Every structure is written in C-alpha cells, then in structure tokens.
Amino acid sequence: MLEDRPQLRTVFNLYETLLGWNWRTIRRNWPYRSGVAPDGLPIPPVRLIAKVAGTAEVEAFLNAGDWAATSIRGLLNKHGLAIERFGSVLDFGCGCGRVIRRWHTLAGVQIHGADYNPELIHWCREHLPFAHFAVNSLEPPLPYAGETFDFIYALSVFTHLPEALQQAWLIELARVLKPGGYVLLTLHGDYYLPQLTPAEQQRYHAGDWVVKYEQVAGTNLCASFCSPDYVARAMTRQFDLIEGVPQGAKGNPHQDAYLLRKTAKPAA
C-alpha cells in the first residue's frame, strides 16, 4: 500500500536498482566501461547514478551535470555574478557529484557538497578529492557554522520535499549563508501541471503548495509543485527574489530556476 512508507521506499529502491539492468542501458554505458569520464574523473556506479538522476545511463548523467553547471553560470552571469568570484560554494543535495564535478578546475574557491544519503557522500569523498563533503539529515541542521558560504545551489532538492521541510531548509540555508549571499533553487512549476489532478491544479493556481507521495520525502518519488505566486509569498521570508526563470534549470529539464539573495530585512 502507498500508505506503507517502508514498503514504498523498498519498492522504489528496487526500481532504481533495476534501471541499470536492461540491455538498452548496458549497451549505452559500454563506451564508459573504463569507469573514467571524459573530464578525467571517476564515474559513479550505475546504481548510484539511478538514485540521483532517474536514469542509469552514464552519458545522460554526465550531460545533465554539464547542462546544470551551464545553467548556474548563465543565471549568475546575467546578474553580474560568477562562480569563480565566490570564496565558498555549497552544493546542497549533491548526490554522487553530478554537478559538483564540474567545478574541479576552479581555483581559489572552496567547494562543499552535502547530502542526506551517506552512501552517495562516501563515494564523493573517495573519488572527488577537490571538494569537501558532509552528510546531513532529512531535517536541518547542516554541519556548518553560520555565515559560511557565499553561494548555495540546490538542484532538484526542494522538488522532493514537503512544505514544512522546505521552510525549515530555507531557514537553515539562510543561517549558513553569508550576508548578501545567494541561493539558487529549482522547483516544479507550470510545466508539470498535467501531472496534477483538477483539484490540485486549482490549489496550485491559487498560490498554494501541492505535494504527491509526501510519506517518502527526500526520494525522487516525492514531488512538490510550487507556482511563482507561491514562491513570492512563501519562499522569500529570508531572501530577496532576484529572478525566477520558467524551465530555467537545463540540467533538470523543465524545472523552474530561482535566484535568491539573503535579505537584510528581518523575516516576518
């Protein structure tokens, strides 16, 4: 039963594992059998790729990370910012390094990654030594002192959290962000309306938050949907909204991208 959280998690974990065991995926992954990507860095096991990417195909995983990094750079550059100019960067929900691996050539920038799956973090620590990695829980806090980071990005993270966890993590990200620092989030927006029932669409258009499979928060099965009106009303208490770009997260196709800046005004 879907209400049985442990059983649902088990079934979904089995599904993720089986993604890598079909002939089409095996054939597509054959060119990467050496275990080393074109960037010279190790490739995660396909079962870890499936957990973070929804596919076990190595090329799709690598391309998505490249597109995500390009999207991050593009949105920052649009506002006169550059990742090279930040002293410290956090990839919140880094998985097995899909995006963080793109920063391995950055000089003078402290790169950090955090995720609530210890297996993913263990792989990153072993294979991506240019960055620092930490395990967090599904709920805050993060294992960092206040005002540690200049820039934090969370790609396809808030898309899998219920509202209470979203709000708790926004407060926590503001805590570890330096004054005037930036956060980039991606969210399920208008593109995903066909996945909602008419009643859910009505709530979405009214500026309310909508979730499916809340009982498995943090997994790819849990899906939250946030309209631009909801973001402006409920997700900017600790931040100023710099820009929202519909379907702007190219590495997470069709998700909306939002650039926020830590506000100087007290939260309401």
pLDDT digits (tens, 9 = 90+) for 6-42: 555 555 555 555 555 677 888 888 999 999 999 999 9
Residues 6+ apart with CB under 8 A from 108: 84, 87
CA 238 vs CA 86, 171, 222: distances in Å: 20, 7, 25
Is residue 242 situated within a structural domain? Answer: yes
Q: What is the DSSP letter of 39?
A: T
Two structure tokens written together for 168: 């708790």
H/E element holding 165?
A: helix 163-176
The C-alpha angle with vertex 62 and arms to 61 and 65, in degrees rounded to 5, equals 90
The count of domains in the chain is: 1
Rounded Cα distance, 217 and 192, in Å:
18
| Residue keyed to tokens 């258009």 | 205
CATH code of 205's domain? 3.40.50.150
211 within some domain: yes
Nearest to 157 by CA among 224, 244, 232: 224
Full residue range of the structural domain in which residue 221 is found: 5-262
**169-203 residue pLDDT tens:** 999 999 999 999 999 999 999 999 999 999 999 99
What pLDDT digit, counting tens, does each position of 60-88 carry?
Answer: 999 999 999 999 999 999 999 999 999 99
Query: Which tens digits make up the pLDDT trace of 249-263?
Result: 999 989 999 999 998
69 in Cβ contact with 99 (< 8 Å)? yes
Asked, for residue 30, whether it belongs to a domain, the answer is yes
- The single-letter DSSP state of residue 221 is T
Residue 268 maps to a domain = no
What are the percentages of helix, strand and coil residues in the chain, rounded to 5? Answer: 40, 20, 35
What pLDDT does residue 3 have?
A: 38
pTM of the model: 0.91
3-state secondary structure of 115: strand
Cβ count within 10 A of residue 45: 15
Residue 130 placed within a domain: yes
In a domain, 233, yes or no: yes
Beta bridge partners, 133, equal 113
Contact 84, 148 (CB under 8 A): no
| CB neighbours of residue 136 within 10 Å | 20
Kindly indicate the confidence band of residue 57, based on its pLDDT and cuts at 50, 70 and 90: very high
pLDDT, tens only, 39-52: 999 999 999 998 88
The answer to whether position 267 is within a domain reads no
Does a structural domain hold residue 166? yes
